[in-house]
Structures are given as structure tokens and as C-alpha cells.
Amino acid sequence: MKSERSYPIYKVNKKAEASLVGGHPWVYENDILEFPETEPENGTLADVVSPKGAYLGTGFVSLKSKIRVRLISRNANDTFDASFWRRRVEYAWAYRKTVLEPADLSACRVIFGEADQFPGLTVDRFNNILVTQTLSVGMEKLKPVLFPLLAEVLRADGQTIDGIYERNDEALRAKEGLEQSKGWFELPGENHPASTQTEICENGVYYHVDFENGQKTGFFLDQKYNRRAVARLAAGHTVLDCFTHTGSFALNAASGGAARVTAADISADAIAMAQRNAERNGLTNMDFLCEDTFELLPRLEKEGHPYDFIILDPPAFTKARRTVENAMRGYKEINYRAMKLLPRGGYLATASCSHFATEELFIKMLRSAAKDAHRQLRQIEVRQQAPDHPILWGVPETNYLKFFLFQVI
């Protein structure tokens, strides 16, 4: 560590030291032994040291959050200027170009928070638009420097970027003392597009994306290769896609040659969007149903149905550790019902996007559901989020998506 440092210093306990050395970038307020004599400005940089004073890293201070410091570097020689952040953006984009197929780069996650060393920042690309979500005060303060760099780096690589739209209408911002908002980020000297809608192509399927009003940043990109796996199995089958949202799994199944696909969702707006996407892709082997999955599956079991392939991709049933038990009951209910509905030899695709519903808990739930439904599950594939949502070992929060493909026998 350099002998002279200009940043305030937080000294942490052995528990936090072990966590940081193990790769986790967060310092919790309760793990701090000594605070700076003068409280730093919210969102500025500070050093973190061990109980013996050894340098552990530098990160953004958040005075309102239980996570007091989020590390951005473990190198005491780093200088955090515009060049530093440009290199970080270039590194993140180079990674995407390496792990994704060229056709997938027009619709991908460009920045995945801590996994790309941008704590609290998400950046998704939807064709000509970058959509951001900023959940840490440090990243919020960095926007005037960072966001123009995002556009510059991608444009320098020949990518068309017409604007940056902020989706900061997220309740988690309150924990950082930040207000909710959404709207265009004004790039210096540029005019933003008039429309807050665009179109993307993923796996050869076209989607309308409303990045102003759609969930999260406008479209869920993390399941792109899981959708491709479903399309590969769907040919000739009758498919029920529950929690279809904008129709993504259903559209992939239909384009993969399914005999018939029913896309079901409790939201009428979601069904309307799925229908629009089906029309855009010229898919006529689809029908749509606006119904709650928890009511739909028991009704189908009672009335009879033609489906031999069921897809379960629900929204997160839990976003906190305290509600995990209730969430697992919900996951079991829909998986049990699906297994009961499927004929022997049928197929089940089932997913969870909740970090707190761990893979261990999810597998335990599936075993229990299969036992109660008197079904055997033949595993075809186990998958996680697409590689543009990289899992950073040492940071369990980056590993959230579980996806299983089974044949029921």
C-alpha cells in the first residue's frame, strides 16, 4: 500500500477482512471497527483496511445504507479518473464480445453490477439504446463521467447507440438515499430519440421492447440460451408457457416447430405484448390466455388438457431471506401441478430467478414435488443465466438464476 493516501479510512473486523479477501466487495456498517475522524461525503471514495491496517481495497461510501463501502479496486496504485473507468467499460465490452455470439451483442447485458466491478449499476443494450439502472450512490455520482464513456466505447467498436435511458424507478434506491425517477440521460451535445420503444432480435425471434414501462429495464435478457434450449426440444409438442410475460419462451417454442403453444399470464398487458410479438414473427401456432397460473394448473388438471411440454418461469417469489419458506411453497405448488398434468414422457422446463431460492433449496423442492406427484424426473439440462450476466465467485448475489429441463417418466 502506498505510504500516502488521500482517502478516508475504514478499519474493519476479521470477519469483514475474510469476506473481502475471499472476493466479496461489500463492507457492512456493523463490521467496521474504526470510522474516519471526519465523515466523508456520501458517494465518495474511501480506503478499507484490516484490523492490523493492511490495505484491502478502495470503494464508494454509502452513508445511508447498511452496506457502508462497495469496493471498486483492490490495487492501491489505481487512479480513479476517466481513463480508469474507460478501461473498465472496455474490459466489460470485450468480455461480452468473447463469450457471446456476434448476433447476440445487439441485445445483451453490458454491465452486471459487482460482477463487472461497477457496484450497483446495470446496463442493458436493446439494439440502439442503452438502458441503465443505478442502485448505489457512488455510481449515481459517477454518471456524468461514466455514461458518456459507455456510448463512446461502444460507438468506437462500430455499434450504433442513439441514446441512454435511465430506469431508476426502483424502490431499492431508497436504501441509498436516492429518489426514484426515469427518463433520458442527456449525452453532451446530443439529442435523444423521441420514442421510448425499440425492437430487438434474440435467437432469431423479434421482440418489441418498451424500455420506459416494461419490467426492470424493459426485457429479461438472462434466459436467452435457455429459451434456445426450449426451442430445440419443442418441435411437434403441445406447449404451455406459464408466466409468459412478453412471450419469450412461448415464441421460441413456436418458432422451434411446436404443434401448438399456449402463452399464459395473469397480466392482460403482458398478454397483449406477447400477442404483438407473435404477430411480428408471423407465428400462427399460438394462442393466449390471461389467467393466474396458480388457478390455471388445477383447472387444467380437473378439465383435461393437451399439453406435453410445460414451461414455468415465474417472477421472483422472494426477494428477502425471511420470505424464503413461503416462496418455496409457491414453487412447489406450481411444479407439483405441472408434473401431475404432464403425461409420462412429457417435458418440464422450470426456473427460479430469486437469489434467495438457492439451487440447493430449488432441487430439494423439485424432488419433493416429484415424489408427491408420483413422477420420476429425467434430467436433460441444468443451466444458469447467460454469460453476459457473469457469476462472480465470492459474490453469491451474482448467481441467481436456476433453470432445469426434465423429461417426466
The structural domains of the chain, ordered by start, are: 9-73 (2.30.130.10), 82-195 (3.30.750.80), 222-408 (3.40.50.150)
Q: Mean pLDDT, to the nearest integer, of 89-107?
A: 97
Q: At which residue does the C-alpha cell 474490459 appear? A: 91
Instruction: Give me the mean pLDDT over the 303-325 stretch.
Output: 88
* Residue 110: all three cell numbers together: 453490458
**Torsion sign over Cα 28, 31, 36, 38:** positive
SS3 content of the chain, % helix, strand, coil (to 5): 35, 25, 40
Catalytic positions, written as ranges: 353
Query: 4 falls in which pLDDT band (50, 70, 90)?
Result: low
Lowest pLDDT segment from 122-126, 216-220, 274-278: 216-220
Instruction: Write down the pLDDT at residue 323.
Output: 86
How many other C-beta atoms lie within 10 A of the C-beta of residue 108? 23
First to last CA, the chain: 60
pLDDT for the residue numbered 316 = 83
* CA 136 – CA 134 distance, rounded (Å): 6
User: Model pTM?
Assistant: 0.94
Distance CA 115, CA 390 (A): 6
Whether 320 has a pLDDT exceeding 80, the answer reads no
What pLDDT, on the 0 to 100 scale, is given for residue 35? Answer: 96
C-alpha cell at 59: 470503494
